[in-house]
Chain A
Amino acid sequence: MAGLEDLYREIILDHHRNPRNRGELPPPAPHAVGHNPLCGDEIEVYLQVEDGRVTDIKVGGQGCSISQSSASMMSQAIKGKPVADVQALVRRFKGMMSIPDADGNEIEPDPEVKLGDLEALQGVVKYPVRIKCAILGWNTLLEALEQV
C-alpha cells in the first residue's frame, strides 16, 4: 500500500510484535504511567537507576504499533546508559519528532547523540496525529526519571 512504508518500517513492526523489556519492576522502583487521552493509549515505565546509570527498564501498557514500538526501542536504547546520556537521547528524539524545547525553540540535532534503530521512527513526522503516539513512552520515561 503506497505511502505507508515510511511509517510502518519493518523494524517498527518487529518491535510491535515482539516488544522488548516488557514487564514491571517491584516498588520502590521509579514508575510512571503515561496516557494519551485522545485514543486511550497507555505506557508504563519502571526504572532501576544505580550510580547515575539506568541499569534496568521495564515497559508496560497497551496501544498502537507506533506507541508500543517506540517505547520498546527506547527501552533498548537507554538500558545501561548514564542518566545524562538518556536525557540527551530524549532531547534528540524529540527533536526528530519536531517537538520544540521548553522555550518553544526548534531542537538542533546533536551529532554526538546517535539514534540508531530509533531513526526508523522518523517517518512518523509526516503523520502529525501519530507524533503523540511516538512520544508517549519518552514523556513517561521523563516522569519516571523525575522520581529518581
Chain B
Amino acid sequence: MSSTALDTAALKQQFPLLQREINGTRLVYLDSANTSQKPAVVIDTMTNFLRNSYAPINRSAYQLAAEATDAYEGARTKVQQFINARRAHEVVFTKNATEALNLVAHSWGRANLQAGDVVVLTHMEHHANIVPWHMLVAERGIVLRWVPLTADGQLDLTTLAQLLDGAKVFSFTAMSNVLGTITPVQQLCAAAHAAGALAIVDGCQYVPHNVTDVQAWGADFMAFSSHKMCGPSGVGVLYGREALLEAMPPFLGGGNMIADVRLDGFTTAELPAKFEAGTPPITEVVGLGAAVDFLIGLGMANVRQHEIEVAGYALRTLTSRFGDDITLHGPTDTSVRGATFSLAFRGIHPHDLSQVLDQTNVCVRAGHHCAKPLMRLMGVAATARASFYLYNDTDDVDALADALDGASAIFGF
C-alpha cells in the first residue's frame, strides 16, 4: 500500500528492475542503504547522452564537446541546488563518497593536522569516515576521540563539549547505515564551530532520503554518493565551503586540475577542476543530474514523509507479529530515524536469514555493513539489514514479515 506522501504503485512502475520477477514472484528490494535501484529516466538520460552527446568535457572546441560540457556542468548546478550550496564550484565530483571523505582527510588533513591534533568521530561511523582518519593517526600522530551512543542507538551528547574541547575536526554521519539513526546535524555543526573545529558531514544515508541544506546545517564539508539516490555508481560528491577548498592543496594530480604545467612545476586550476583530475565519470555525472531532477520532482519532504510512514508501519508490524523474537536495533521514534533496520531474529544467523529470505525474493544485506566498530559495541558480528526507500511500501514490509515466518519454519521455531 502507498503512503499519503508518495504513490508507490506508480513509482515502482518507473523502476524497470523492480518489474523483474524471479521464479514467478516479484522482487522485494530492501537493500537501498547499500545501493538504490535506478528509475527509467536516469537510465534513459545516460543512454541518450551516450548515443547523442558524449564527448570530452572542458578541453575541446567543437560543438559536441560544448554540449557534453554543458550537460556535465549542468549536473553540478542541479546538485548545488539540491543540497543548497552557495556556489556551484563548491560541488566537487569524486569517484564515490569514500573518495570524497578521503580527499578531505588527505588534502585538508595533511595541510592542517599535526601530531597531537584531535579529530572527533562517533561510534556509529561507517568505515569510510574512520579509516582515512586512522591513516592520519599512523602518518601524523593525530588523536581520535569518539562520541558514544545511548542505549537506543542515538548519539550520547552529554560529553560532547569535553570531547570537542581543543579538537580540530568533528566528522560525523547524518544518518547511521546500521541503526537508521538521524543525528542532529545542525546542532553538531554548531557544537564543532563553538569549539573551533571543522564540521564534516557524511551524508551518504541522509541525502537520498531527506531535504538537505548544507548552509542551514553550517557544514564545512559534506560527502554523499550518487548510487544511493537513484543515480549511477561511479560518482560521488564532496561539498566544501569555498574558502576551505581554495586554501587546500590538490588531491590527485593530472589533467584538468592544472592551470599550467612547466618542467619545474605546476599551478592548479580554479575550483572545482582543481579537485577533478583526469577524465571524470562524465555519463555518470549526467545520470546523477537526472536523478536529482527525479528526486526534486517527487519532493524530498515527501520522500521523508513517506519513509516515516513506512518505518512506522515496519516497527508496528514486526513488533506485533514477532514480539520478543525480533530485535530491531536503533531508535523506535520515527522522528529521529530513517527506514533502515538492522535486525536480529530468533537467533538465526544473518547469513542464514538472508539466504532464506532470498527464496521469496526479499533482498536484505547480511554482514557488518562496513561499520565493524559499531557492530562490536552492539555485541554482534553481523546483522541482517532491511532498508526501505521511496519505492518500497507497506506491502514490502508485509513480504519481509512473511519471509521471516518462512525462516522460522526452516530453523524449527
A interface with B by C-beta (< 8 Å): 1-4, 7-8, 13, 38-42, 62-66, 127, 130, 133
Interface of A is mostly: loop
For B350, the chain A residues whose CB sits under 8 A away are 39, 64
A64 to B351, CA, bound (A): 6
Q: Do A1 and B409 form a contact, CB below 8 Å, given A63-B349, A64-B352?
A: yes
Q: How far is the CB of B333 from chain A (nearest CB, A)?
A: 29
Q: Do A40 and B410 form a contact, CB below 8 Å, given A4-B356, A7-B355?
A: no
Specify which of A13, A40, A63, A66 is in contact with B412 (CB 8 Å cutoff): A13
Are the CB atoms of B409 and A4 closer together than 8 Å? no
Specify which of B349, B368, B381, B410 is in contact with A4 (CB 8 Å cutoff): B410
Q: List 17 A-B contacts (CB under 8 A).
A: A1-B360, A1-B410, A7-B355, A13-B412, A39-B350, A39-B351, A39-B367, A39-B381, A40-B368, A41-B381, A64-B349, A64-B350, A64-B352, A65-B349, A65-B351, A130-B351, A130-B355
A133 to B366, CA, bound (A): 13
For B322, the chain A residues whose CB sits under 8 A away are none
A13 to B411, CA, bound (A): 7
Q: Do A40 and B367 form a contact, CB below 8 Å, given A2-B359, A130-B355?
A: yes
State the interface size on chain B (CB cutoff 8 A): 20
For B271, the chain A residues whose CB sits under 8 A away are none
For B410, the chain A residues whose CB sits under 8 A away are 1, 4, 8
Query: Is B406 an interface residue, CB under 8 A from the partner?
Result: yes
Q: Do A4 and B366 form a contact, CB below 8 Å, given A41-B381, A64-B351, A130-B351?
A: no
Query: Is B382 an interface residue, CB under 8 A from the partner?
Result: yes
Query: Is B128 an interface residue, CB under 8 A from the partner?
Result: no
A1 to B355, CA, bound (A): 11
Within 8 A of A (CB), among B361-376: 366-368, 372, 375
Minimal Cβ-Cβ distance residue in A for B380: A40
Q: How far is the CB of B44 from chain A (nearest CB, A)?
A: 32
Are the CB atoms of A40 and B381 closer together than 8 Å? yes
Q: How far is the CB of A106 from chain B (nearest CB, A)?
A: 26
A64 to B366, CA, bound (A): 11
For B412, the chain A residues whose CB sits under 8 A away are 13
For B356, the chain A residues whose CB sits under 8 A away are 1, 4
Q: How far is the CB of B371 from chain A (nearest CB, A)?
A: 11
A66 to B349, CA, bound (A): 10
Q: How far is the CB of A89 from chain B (nearest CB, A)?
A: 25
For A133, the chain B residues whose CB sits under 8 A away are 351
Q: How far is the CB of B31 from chain A (nearest CB, A)?
A: 14
For B409, the chain A residues whose CB sits under 8 A away are 1
For A63, the chain B residues whose CB sits under 8 A away are 349, 351, 381
Q: Do A38 and B411 form a contact, CB below 8 Å, given A62-B381, A64-B352, A66-B351?
A: no
Q: Which residue among B349, B359, B409 has the maximum number of chain A CB atoms within 10 Å of its CB?
A: B349
Q: How far is the CB of A148 from chain B (nearest CB, A)?
A: 29
For A8, the chain B residues whose CB sits under 8 A away are 352, 410-411
A86 to B129, CA, bound (A): 44
> 6 nearest interchain CB pairs?
A64-B351, A40-B381, A64-B349, A40-B382, A40-B368, A39-B367
Are the CB atoms of A1 and B359 closer together than 8 Å? yes
A83 to B412, CA, bound (A): 37
A7 to B410, CA, bound (A): 11
Are the CB atoms of B411 and A40 closer together than 8 Å? no
Q: How far is the CB of B348 from chain A (nearest CB, A)?
A: 8
Q: How far is the CB of B352 from chain A (nearest CB, A)?
A: 5
Q: How far is the CB of B385 from chain A (nearest CB, A)?
A: 12
For B368, the chain A residues whose CB sits under 8 A away are 39-40
A66 to B354, CA, bound (A): 13
Specify which of A4, A41, A62 is in contact with B355 (CB 8 Å cutoff): A4
A13 to B367, CA, bound (A): 21
Q: Which residue among A42, A65, A66 has the maximum number of chain B CB atoms within 10 Å of its CB?
A: A65
A63 to B351, CA, bound (A): 8
A9 to B12, CA, bound (A): 37
Q: Which residue among A4, A8, A41, A64 has the maximum number of chain B CB atoms within 10 Å of its CB?
A: A64
Are the CB atoms of B367 and A38 closer together than 8 Å? yes
Minimal Cβ-Cβ distance residue in A for B411: A13
For A40, the chain B residues whose CB sits under 8 A away are 367-368, 372, 375, 381-382
**With A39-B350, A39-B368 given, can you name 17 additional A-B contacts, CB distance below 8 Å?**
A1-B360, A2-B359, A4-B355, A4-B359, A13-B412, A39-B351, A39-B366, A40-B375, A40-B381, A40-B382, A41-B381, A63-B351, A64-B350, A65-B349, A65-B351, A65-B352, A130-B355
Q: How far is the CB of B50 from chain A (nearest CB, A)?
A: 32
Q: How far is the CB of B254 from chain A (nearest CB, A)?
A: 32
For A1, the chain B residues whose CB sits under 8 A away are 356, 359-360, 406, 409-410
For A13, the chain B residues whose CB sits under 8 A away are 411-412
Q: Which residue among B352, B356, B359 has the maximum number of chain A CB atoms within 10 Å of its CB?
A: B352
